[in-house]
Amino acid sequence: MRRSQAAAGWIIERLGLDAALAGDLIEECAAGRSAFWYWRQVLAAVWAGVWSGILNHKLLALRAVATGCAVNAIWLYLWTRFLHIGLTRTASFDSFVSLLAILLTQAATGWIVARTHRAHAIPMVCAFAIWLLVWAPGSFDSPYFRMLLVDSLDQPRFRPYLARYLAWFFVPIAVEIAGLLAGGAIAARANRQSFQPAQN
């Protein structure tokens, strides 16, 4: 439990949330709260922190999205210019290299977005990640998917094709988001004292 508390404290501080919140949760655990209660509270705090970070700084979130898009446009240009490979629908060396390139480029994008929005680094990286997720269905080949889905219902031989298509579609997105968050987390400064005492 102690190790998971340290991990949760790290997440909370990287998000720019108050370190006192992590301390309160540890205090409650010492008073007999369960690990389930603890992680529910951590997830709720992360959720509230990310959303309030985005909603309270909408212009900054737009800037983060613009920054992320600009950096990704550069990656896309470099990819098409120099890296003449792509994702295939079967496991292959090209797919592996492509996924690795996606992971590294998105980690760099997450790092750049976080470093250019230091005060609210992780919420801004999440704003860009949400933007990517919103755009992702645009590349979904729904007629092909529908055909595979219908065929798979009564013909089991089509099920591997359906699974392969879903993996081909979702794995790069998952790798992309994981890269972004990892890059953002590396860049984000631990912010132990996000609250500034009000002058009154």
Residue in the block written with tokens 């446009």: 73
Stretch that binds another protein, among 2-10, 96-104, 141-149, 169-177 (CB under 8 A): 2-10
For tokens 């997105």, the residue is 173
- Output the smallest distance, CB 4 to another protein, in A: 12
Instruction: Write out the two tokens for 109.
Output: 């994008």
d(CA 128, CA 149): 31
Query: Is residue 40 involved in binding another protein (CB under 8 A)?
Result: yes
Alpha-carbon distance of 135 to 153, in angstroms, equals: 28
Q: How far apart are the first and last CA of the chain?
A: 40
Q: Which amino acid is at 32?
A: G
Residue of 1, 4, 7, 24 that binds another protein (CB under 8 A): 24
Q: How many residues would you count in the chain? A: 200
Q: How many other CB atoms are found less than 10 A from the CB of residue 55?
A: 11
Q: Closer to another protein by CB, 49 or 184: give it.
A: 49
Q: How far is the CB of 102 from another protein (least distance, A)?
A: 31
Q: Which of residues 50-79 bind another protein (CB under 8 A)?
A: 52
- The HSE-up count of residue 140 (CA atoms within 13 Å, CB side) is 14
Instruction: Choose which of 1, 4, 28, 39 interacts with another protein (CB under 8 A).
Output: 28
Contact between 139 and another protein per CB under 8 A: no
Q: Is 180 in the site for another protein (CB under 8 A)?
A: no
**Segment 87-126, which members bind another protein (CB under 8 A)?**
none
Comparing CB distances to another protein, the nearer of 138 and 197 is: 197
Q: What are the tokens at 86? A: 């792509």
CB of 120 to another protein, least distance (A): 12
- DSSP tag of 8: H
Binding site for another protein (CB under 8 A): 5-6, 9, 17-28, 30, 40-41, 44-49, 52, 193-195, 197-200
